[in-house]
Amino acid sequence: MDVATPNKTVLASLVAALLLAPAAHAASVYKHENGDYLDLYGEVGVGGHFGANYNSGEFYKDQYYIDDSFATMGVKGRNGGLLYRLELDYERENWKYGSGDMVLSIDKVYLGYEFNDHHYVEVGLTDTAFDDYDKYGDFTFDTTVETGEAGDQDGTVKYEGRYGDFKAGVSYSYDTQSSSGAVLGNIVNGYTGYFGKRFSVVVGLEGRSGSEGESKYGEQRLLGLGMRLAVTDQLTLGFNGFLEHEDIAQDKTTVDVTDPNNKQYVYNNYQTLEHEGALLSAKYALTPQWEIVGSANYEAYEHWDSESEFWDEKDTEWGSSRTWGTLGINYKPTRSSVIAVEGSIGEAAQDFYVYSRVYF
């Protein structure tokens, strides 16, 4: 999928796979006996991509090292049955169409209502429902196949609930945009999953209405699947995959040239392109502090295929699809910190990814 989505949406889902959630290490500002509370939490990370391949279409600039430093600070709490959260991110816009600058932004601001311990709703700027599970079967940090769901969106209404060993969630986002500001239209997505002690599986769906000519992005349908299997107490296997049908405009018509630097267009002739990707992943705990992770990856986008009528006329090193592998090691000095090094072989977007993070 060619919609640029911030790396933070991917990284947020990976934290749960590597560590306890940041909120588990939050500093409690206050906690009342009636259940009301206010927590301060955050994350500080330094690192980046070495040997970055600009032709992969994942980075803003053609250079060897792409910085991926990132920081988050937020407050979350409960007041009666009401939930609230405000989260600020300071990150480098290093993705495709990004500026490359460090930018301070509001990542989340929402109110919610907790019906009971297992069911709640949120309204505002928040994760879409499928965002937390779009990389569920992947144990690596940021070097593998990405399921391009909507991520964080303003104007979102979300429900999530637990039913025994099953979880489900659904969200509706109004008048959404990509991180580059392109209009996407309204988006509905959701997931349902089984979470057992040894085996778990999550299925996610997403659909968007399209921009109706305001951008090149038309309607879209996305199916995602993630699985985990704990083979032993030390070894866990994972699978992640997606299939996407996305309408992309093949033509555009100029409608306003008043400002030569900001011409206005109407996009048309939308055609459906098919994208797919999958990975097998594994994590092996050597000790409570050390673990090895790895993955084998495959993805294909129709606009890469020179034999397709929708080829974007950009020659790639890999043709219509690409495959690559990753192998890494994670060291956790404490329960709330991690140092990660991952190397890639094959048709990957980078040679190495090196990162250190502390969560609180």
Segments of the chain assigned E as strands: 27-31, 37-50, 65-67, 70-79, 82-92, 102-116, 119-127, 152-163, 166-177, 183-195, 199-208, 217-230, 235-256, 264-285, 290-301, 321-331, 337-346, 352-359
Residues, the chain, total? 360
The pLDDT tens digits of the residues spanning 205-249 come to 999 999 999 999 999 999 999 999 999 999 999 999 999 999 999
Question: Exposure string (b/e) for 324-355, b if CB count within 10 Å is 16 or more?
Answer: bbbbbebebeeebbbebbbbbeebbbbbbbbb
For the entire predicted model, the pTM comes to 0.86
CA torsion 148-153-156-161 (nearest 10°) is: 50
Which of these, 337, 299, 335, lies nearest to 318 by C-alpha position?
299
313 vs 42 pLDDT, higher one? 42
Three-state SS at 308: coil
Break the chain into its structural domains and give their ranges. Answer: 7-359
Higher pLDDT residue, 333 or 261? 333
Least confident of 2-6, 184-188, 201-205: 2-6
Residue 319: CB atoms within 10 Å: 13
**Burial level of 162, CB count in 10 A (0-12/13-18/19+)?**
middle
Which CATH class for the 7-359 domain?
mainly beta
